[in-house]
Amino acid sequence: MILEMKVPSPGESITEVEIATWLVKDGDYVEKDETIAEVDSDKATLDLPAEASGIITLKAKEGDTVQVGQVVCLIDTDKIKPQQKEKIDDISKIEIEREDFKNIDTPESFQNKNIQSVSYATGTASPAAKKILEEKNISALSIQGTGKDGRITKEDALKAAPSLGSSNGNGSRSSTSIKLSVLRRKVSQRLVSVKNETAMLTTFNEVDMSEIFRIRSEYKDEFKNKHTVSLGFMSFFTLAVVRALKLFPDVNSMIDGDYKITYDFQDISIAVSGPKGLMVPVLRNAETMTFRGVEQNIKELAIKVREGKITIDEMTGGTFTITNGGVFGSMMSTPIINPPQSAILGMHNIVDRPVVKNKQIVISPMMYIALSYDHRIIDGKESVGFLVAVKEAVENPVELLMNNNIKKALEL
């Protein structure tokens, strides 16, 4: 029986995908549920498992855009798994090696081969050619001369085309062209649309991380031993964002045509870097989560992203995004809004800097934070107030995020 394998629907509103990589070759024997291809949608990369065992015939090429429901391969389920070929016996190996040995050049035969003559003229430009090359800003070292003994002629110089930038003859000048994945192309379109279709502004502030450092230093081992997950910075910032969104609901809103939609829940998108690029899985109802809940959910989602197992549903939605460029060493940046959301918080690296506390100069771990927002729906007052609220909660987490009970908040 010939089984037609069709592209399954990867999620609502997705009508086409791109064949990113075939993991099998035409004519291979595949096992049922074996991953035979990776397909890219505009939201994620998904695995395509074989629906039956048999010999596969590919009906689409890598890079092809195919519709959901389209046949991409055939599986002949009547074919049995071929046996592995027997090893070549030792005698056959010796005979093959002997035949190969006969083809090796002897010193005498090598000397009789034609060798291109090389002289002082090789690679030297004639006066006319030299002038032309100088006008074109082309190095003579990059040209193969066709004149006598390899001399560069006037015709060689006229035919020579300048490369991208001048070359001193050292190092590679090659380049490669790789088609962008459908996911990367879709991200590019979305980023450009955000810049063109929103009134995006960014406001900045800085936070003193001393109190978070103190809490983590004192409780991180106990927290990890009990919950098997680390107490990181993201739980503090996520809960600080949840608190700030409740205080400034316009930041938790979106524009839909002529209407503003404001949500009474906080679904926080967390930017995670994976093999296929930046993904933004969502913490659903983050307002109901504890420190442990945030850390465990972020860890699970991050693992799925890095293993390529994240689903469309796990990245759909989100009312606000947090991105942490600090893990890559960024000191300050302007994060781009994740549409259709109206704002995004950017975290950055932590640096010991001199600050004034109680009229004394002290060294504290400081972080710059940035809020990019859509000015069509969020005014300056709300954006600045929101960022100040995040700053207050991060600098005073015991009172504002833990209700003055650290052990209870950390479930220790």
> Residues with catalytic annotation?
375, 379
CB-based burial label for 280 (10 Å; 0-12, 13-18, 19+): buried
CA angle 36, 42, 47 (to 5 degrees): 15
Beta-strand ranges (E) seen in 176-276 are 200-208, 253-256, 259-262, 268-270, 272-274
How far is the CA of 108 from the CAs of 100, 104, 105, 111, 113, in angstroms? 18, 11, 8, 5, 9
Give CA–CA dist 122/362, Å, rounded. 69
CB-based burial label for 204 (10 Å; 0-12, 13-18, 19+): middle
Determine contact, residues 239/393, Cβ cutoff 8 Å.
Answer: yes
**Neighbouring residues of 125: CB distance < 8 A, sequence distance ≥ 6:** 133, 140, 143, 145, 151, 152, 157
Give CA–CA dist 379/167, Å, rounded. 52
Determine contact, residues 394/215, Cβ cutoff 8 Å.
Answer: no
The total of other beta-carbon atoms located within 10 Å of residue 37's CB is: 23
